[in-house]
Homo-oligomer: A and B are copies of this chain.
Amino acid sequence: MLSKKTKYGLKALSNIARKQSDSPVLISDIAEEENISRKFLEIILLQLKNSGFLGSKKGKGGGYYLLKKPEDITVADLIRVLEGPIALLPCVSLNFYEKCDDCKDEKTCSLKAFMIDVRDSTLEILEKRTLADLT
């Protein structure tokens, strides 16, 4: 299951993408429209900014805006930034690999091959879909 942070982040980006306006979108507007705590949303949008998905403008008339076209932002990339690894086990993660400390020998692990299949099948859909697919 996704954390609320990820869910809120996706909803917020979808909200901004839907507007397609020239002027930046206010945190407060997103918070109200999507029923998200304003302060919590601040943290999330800041993270999306620091990860290069959003730009911001301070002061009056400021707000957040997309740095790329929605169809150029994959859901996989967003989930990696907001939630972390997509794989079910750290030892089969492409972007966040870590050795399982209980595994005596990774080569003979009974789960690994299967988990790689699951990962690939998940990536198949998450890397094809983009922000533009989130209405």
Contact of A124 (CB < 8 Å), options: B113, B114, B121 = B121
| Chain A residues within CB distance 8 Å of chain B | 1-2, 4, 7-8, 10-11, 14-15, 18, 34-36, 75, 84-85, 87-90, 100, 102-104, 110-111, 113-114, 117-118, 121-122, 124-126, 129, 133-135
Q: What are 29 pairs between A and B in contact, CB < 8 Å? A: A1-B84, A1-B85, A1-B87, A1-B88, A1-B89, A1-B90, A2-B89, A7-B111, A8-B102, A10-B110, A11-B110, A11-B111, A14-B110, A14-B111, A15-B110, A18-B110, A34-B102, A35-B102, A35-B103, A35-B104, A36-B102, A75-B114, A113-B135, A114-B129, A117-B129, A118-B126, A121-B124, A121-B125, A122-B122
